[in-house]
Amino acid sequence: MVSGDRVTTKHYAYRLDHDTGFAPHVAAKVCTLCGCKSTTVEAWARPGSWVVGIGGNGTGKPDLLIYAMQVESNSTVAELRRRSPRLTGYLRRHGIKASARILMSKRFYYFGDHAIPLRSKQLQGLVIGGRGCRKVKDEDIAHLVAHLAARNYAPGIHGCPNNLQPQAPAQCGCSRIATKPRSSANCT
């Protein structure tokens, strides 16, 4: 969106039905989101946008911060596969089309089974009580980044997926299970 001569970046928060390691998917120093929010966040987010995933009841971590990522690129799977095949390998066995959008980030915080509470009044704008997603304000993101820095969290992987075991398809229709994060050998 252009406001005068200034481009404004939009940020989004959504409630995860589950946290299997598929969407978001973290591997080494990269977080991707593809195949679960294809008609909303994956279509809307642009480079510079922040996407915040809040735990739903199915994650075992309701209302806690599962992950946050600052989008570096929003390309198609085919485009990202040409640039970096290793980042899209996990999608092949799940029937994701080459034309699907995939968000990629190198600046992310993934907490998974170590999800953190967002108790501060300044962070409540990120917590979603029901299904869906919504835009969040620049101030909400600034408060989140400051909150994480004040607690000495560096970008990267801080936990493992909550729901690694196969389960019935969730409300989003996704029953995809990914492998554990490659740089997190303690995930079982």
Residuewise pLDDT in 10s, the chain (188 residues): 444 445 578 999 999 988 988 889 998 799 999 877 666 788 889 999 999 999 998 889 999 999 999 999 999 999 999 998 888 888 877 888 899 999 999 999 999 999 999 988 999 989 987 777 889 999 999 999 999 999 999 999 999 998 876 544 444 434 444 444 444 444 54
Closest CA to 34 of 84, 82, 83, 94: 94
Tokens of 76: 């198609």
- The residue assigned the tokens 């990202």 is 80
The answer as to whether 169 is a domain residue is: no
The answer as to whether 73 is a domain residue is: yes
Domain count across the chain: 1
| Structural domain harbouring 63 | 9-157
The answer as to whether 174 is a domain residue is: no
Assign residue 145 the CATH number of its domain: 3.10.590
* pTM for this model (two decimals): 0.85
Distance CA 2, CA 117 (A): 34
The identity of residue 32, as a single letter, is T
The answer as to whether 130 is a domain residue is: yes
The answer as to whether 118 is a domain residue is: yes
Identify the helix (H) or strand (E) that includes residue 68.
strand 65-70
The answer as to whether 163 is a domain residue is: no
The answer as to whether 72 is a domain residue is: yes
The answer as to whether 188 is a domain residue is: no
